[in-house]
Structure 1
Amino acid sequence: MTELVVASLERWDDVWRRNQHLVAGLLAADPELRVLFVEPPADPTHDLLSRRRPRFGRGIREVAGVAPGRLHSVRPVKWLPRRLDRRADDRLARSIMRAARRLGMRHPLLWINDPGMAPLAERSGWPSLYDVTDDWLAADRPAAELQRTAANEATLFRLAREVVVCSPELARRKGEQRPVVLIPNAVDVDAYRRPRPRPSDLPAGPVALYLGTVHADRIDVDLCEATARALGATGRLVLVGPNLLGADDVRRLEASGARLLGPRRRDEVIGYLQHADVLVVPHVVDAFTDSLDPIKLYEYQAVGRPVVSTPVAGFRDVVDPRITIADGAGFAAAVAAAVPATTTFPAGADGPVADWAERARAMGEVLARLGRAEDPAAT
């Protein structure tokens, strides 16, 4: 296996997620591997209708600092809504195939994380892997979007030779339809246990910190507001990660005393976690969040800080004396109680935690199996 196209749900940026960690691990393990990382399509028409500055696609570019000459990214463009251009998905697929050809890729394997890229699997005929990291059929979305997602997932279940899931709940749900391989998330353990200086923008005094995307699909805004008010003069609720909340929710949180710091580079977030007094997971608990395997579980465990979480998947299932499960009014009270009782890093940062290198090896085995199935010489 020397050529791989990855159709991701996220951009390759400074906030690393599952795909980036796994791809970087695969490139480190195989010096012959070349990867084209396909970012979510730009949608300038939707940007304009949403009164945002339109963003356009980006041609092929080399991703610096990972595997020189062997990792490139591309961001295609969806110029018109599907209701106006019934061939929009086909045009996206063709543009990605052209990008792969420009890089000299003739028979790549295809790793699809974005179910919207099902037409690429159909059009290209490349041996395909479907990596399921969220159950989008359980998300709060318009009916037409859910119907399209269901059709795309059905196509991928039919075409993909391998299906990978990241959580036991996804294995249960998707495994009812076809065989799946469970490859959970992880953390770069050594990096998270190497002491870092306290970030200069972390508020003075005790801090209850959330790390992750601040999105209404996952964050319980009411719970965050109540937690910030419960801390009062005792400490400060700080949220670190991309902020996708609406303006009204942001104002509510700021008025309650919470601080939203926005995204930080993958190597910078470690200092925020190490210097927090308590780490929090104020997540909504529903069918969508129950499908997740939160990367923050592994990040939080790696730094050994006390944790207060709602009863979400991952946190509620692990046996760890540092993790307190609470909900409703009990959540804010549990966070406030945990803050003065905490100890400083690296105390507690010595428990077993899964490392991304282990997960990359597992994904490499799946991709190798996919490649062998395509190679007549291997049979």
Structure 2
Amino acid sequence: MVNINLNLSFPMRKTFIILEKKQLFMKDFSNLTFDKVTIVMTSMSRWDGEFSSASWSLAKTFAQTQKVIYVDYPFTFLDYLKERKKPSVKARKSALIWGNNSIKQLSQFSPKLYALSPPLMLPINWLPQGSLYNFFSNWNDRRLAKSISKALKELHEEAFIYFNSFNPLYLTKLPNSFKPNAFVYQSRDNIRALEPYLRKHGARKEIEAVQSADLSLVTSRMLQKDLEALSGKKVAYFPNAADFELFKSAYELELNVPKDLKNIPKPIIGYTGNICHRLDYDLIKTVCEANPDKSMVMVGPRNHQGHTDINLDEIPNLYFTGPKKIEQLPQYLAHFQLLILPFLCNEVTKSIYPLKINEYLASGKPIVATPFSEDIQLFHPLISLEKSPQDFNKAIEMELTTNTEEKAKSRYTEASKNTWKGRVKLFWELLMD
């Protein structure tokens, strides 16, 4: 672990960061408390993306106490050509092309939270592994690091922690000119089992990040075992959580019915999140067919193309609302009678601690999931875990007919133990260990 002397109530004195090559850097933080250290966070999502991400939720929580620069996942020149007509890209045009107005204060979330739109990067993932890829990857990294340094200067900040929250394609090994007070890398998915685009260079570069970082974090027990074996370094368990203060409203308050739910017959089986490669579409179809008296509503962006041959739009009791902002999700959870996590059980999902499980639990609603990972299994018996379609359907009926206020309160209470505020506290403990 990195030897950084941060304290929640006392000023930091001398901070010593020992980097991989055993070089010793000393900074005098005599008058600096931990909440004055800026967090610079990169990830594979953007702050205004279609669905919530763990990195964005964590960034917003850090920003309650200290400055945070949330760095957008970079656009390449090719991305810009393809997406230049989108409103979100047009709004970033000056930053992407000229490097102007790249830092934006997100005061609607916190006066301490900023978004950084870095300049366009070279599209290099098509290159094979080797010296040419490494040359252009280093060029991209220097370009990204320079934009971060410029933002820090604009905000008059010197001390900062660089937190790479699962972006294995950029800044996995830091340029010599980029000197954070600590480098943290976090893994949230098994890259070695993901789509070829990310796996091609990301699998190797993630190991590079773990070996370069002062502190490495993972969100699941399986990832912890894998990355420790592959990197030869200690990796800390740092599971996902929920914005409990937001999602508890689905349990505590009488929330209005969203307009797009008003004409959908109840009871409603609900799912929130990305509709993507992780889902078992055969199971979803079977659940809909076995429960014609119930509706299934899926809230999130539809990215299932290429992952199923089933025409989901032909299923009469299956409804899609499209993506919603995280702030809207409690309103949907409040009007679902049961929640599901119908994930496939495979190499991709066995290393997942799903972001949504604690959001679901905060609503107090009954939950049925497949036993896809060691981490989800830890929530049994608060939730039902069944793999086969027949048993999954039986669990849905059982959970609906046996639900009680006592069970709802137990789920709610469990969620209250897994908050982003609690994870921030854990982060500082791990960093100071």
TM over 0.5: yes
Give the aligned residue type for 1:67.
S
1:152 CA displacement:
0.6
Does the aligned pair in 2 maintain the 1:230–1:332 contact within 8 Å? no
Which structure's CA Rg is the greater one? 2
Kept in 2: contact 1:115–1:149 (CA 8 A): yes
DSSP-derived class of the 1:352 partner: helix
**Residue number in structure 1 paired with 2:183:** 128
1:102 counterpart = 2:145? no
**Residue segments in structure 2 that go unaligned for 5+ positions in a row:** 1-33, 96-101
> Counterpart of 1:197 in structure 2: which amino acid?
N
Please provide the CA RMSD for this pair. 3.0
Q: Flag the 1:121–1:342 CA change in 2: closer, same or farther, 3 A.
A: farther
CA separation of 1:293 and 1:119: change in aligned 2, threshold 3 A: closer
Distance 2:279 2:211 in 1: 34
- What residue in structure 1 maps to residue 234 of structure 2? 179
* Residues 1-379 of structure 1: pairs in structure 2 closer than 5 A: 1=34, 2-13=37-48, 15-28=51-64, 30=65, 33-45=66-78, 55=89, 58=95, 59-68=102-111, 70-83=113-126, 86=133, 87-103=135-151, 104=153, 105-113=157-165, 114-119=167-172, 121-123=174-176, 124-126=178-180, 127-141=182-196, 145-176=198-229, 177-194=232-249, 195=253, 196-202=255-261, 203-216=264-277, 218-232=278-292, 234-246=293-305, 249=308, 252-257=311-316, 258-313=318-373, 314-321=375-382, 323-330=383-390, 333-334=393-394, 337-338=397-398, 341=401, 348-350=408-410, 351-353=413-415, 354-367=418-431, 369=432
TM-score by structure 1 length? Answer: 0.84
| Counterpart Cα distance in 2 of 1:283 and 1:92 | 35
The question of whether the paired residues in 2 share the 8 Å contact of 1:210 and 1:279 is answered with yes
Unmatched 5+ stretches in structure 1: 371-379
CA distance in 2, matches of 1:46, 1:21: 25
Which has the higher mean CA deviation after the structures are superposed, 181-190 or 345-354? 345-354
After the TM superposition, which of the residue ranges 77-86 and 128-137 deviates more from structure 2? 77-86
Aligned to 1:373: none
Letter in 1 for 2:381: D
- What's the CA shift string for 1:133-162, capped at 9, x where partnerless? 1111122426xx534123212221221010
CA shift, 1:239, in A, is: 0.8
Aligned residues: 360
Distance 1:154 1:200, change over 3 A: same
Three-state SS of the structure 1 residue aligned to 2:171 is helix
Tell me if the contact between 2:103 and 2:114 (Cα under 8 Å) persists in the aligned partners: no
1:25 alignment partner, SS class: helix
Kept in 1, the 8 Å contact 2:172–2:212? The answer is no
8 Å CA contact 1:134–1:291 kept in 2: the answer is yes
Change (3 A) 1:52 1:238: farther
Q: CA deviation at 1:204?
A: 3.0
